[in-house]
């Protein structure tokens, strides 16, 4: 799964990396982004790419209770195209969720060890995400989920699942403003290749979503 990540880049770096023309209102770098919080996402509205904030934890438009979002921070890519909550979103509500590393907790003989994981060759990257709009009376929510897959060889010793990180050359393809069949989206993410990853141990300070700051990413070695 993917339950915590970072985005430390300055706004100008994000605009340049993703080819965005407009500034990002209220953007602040973050050391410990957690479910239920606002996350920076990019969509294509048919005319241009736009960046804004979505709440992490998908609330499908048909949900009766928005609390369902806390159970839907991730979507399994292997079956998303078959699930009512996700398959229609794969058609035309695909988004980029911007990050520069993520955390995972490895089981050890001494308990769980927090690790920070990033790409070796790229500072900024994007998770493959899905988004939806939920409305009830006067309340509106724009929410998202991160697609995950079975861990690759690098991640297997750490955790059995991992987020889908889009290759740089496939980011725009993922959010292109065309309608896909759910099976097409499934095939797209299945065939993706991944850049090499790197990881190092961090302290249990990051374990609490309330904690924020450089201590979250400080190496233990």
Give me the active site residues, please. Answer: 2, 104
User: Which residues are bridge partners to 127 per DSSP?
Assistant: 97, 165
H-state helical runs in 42-181: 87-92, 171-174
Q: What is the 3-state secondary structure (H, E, C) of 1-49?
A: CCCCEEECCCHHHHHHHHCCCCCCCCCCCEEEECCCCEEEEEEECCCCE
Question: Residue 148: CA atoms inside 13 Å, Cβ hemisphere, count?
Answer: 18
Helix, strand, or coil here: 108? strand
């Amino acid at each position: 799964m993917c339950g915590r990540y970072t985005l430390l880049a300055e706004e100008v770096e994000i605009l340049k990396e993703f080819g965005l023309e407009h500034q990002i209102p209220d953007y602040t770098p973050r050391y410990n982004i957690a479910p239920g919080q606002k996350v920076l996402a990019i969509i294509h509205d048919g005319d241009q790419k736009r960046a804004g904030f979505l709440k992490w934890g998908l609330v499908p438009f048909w949900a009766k209770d928005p609390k369902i979002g806390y159970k839907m921070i991730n979507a399994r890519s292997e079956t998303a195209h078959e699930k009512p909550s996700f398959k229609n979103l794969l058609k035309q509500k695909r988004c980029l969720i911007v990050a520069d590393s993520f955390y995972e907790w490895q089981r050890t003989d001494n308990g769980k060890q927090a690790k920070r994981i990033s790409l070796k060759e790229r500072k900024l990257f994007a998770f493959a995400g899905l988004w939806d709009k939920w409305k009830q009376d006067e309340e509106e929510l724009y929410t998202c989920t991160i697609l995950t897959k079975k861990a690759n060889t690098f991640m297997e010793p750490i955790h059995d699942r991992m987020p889908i990180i889009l290759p740089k050359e496939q980011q725009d393809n993922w959010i292109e403003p065309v309608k896909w069949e759910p099976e097409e989206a499934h095939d797209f993410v299945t065939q993706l290749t991944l850049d090499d990853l790197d990881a190092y141990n961090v302290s249990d300070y990051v374990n609490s979503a309330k904690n924020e700051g450089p201590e979250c990413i400080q190496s233990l070695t």
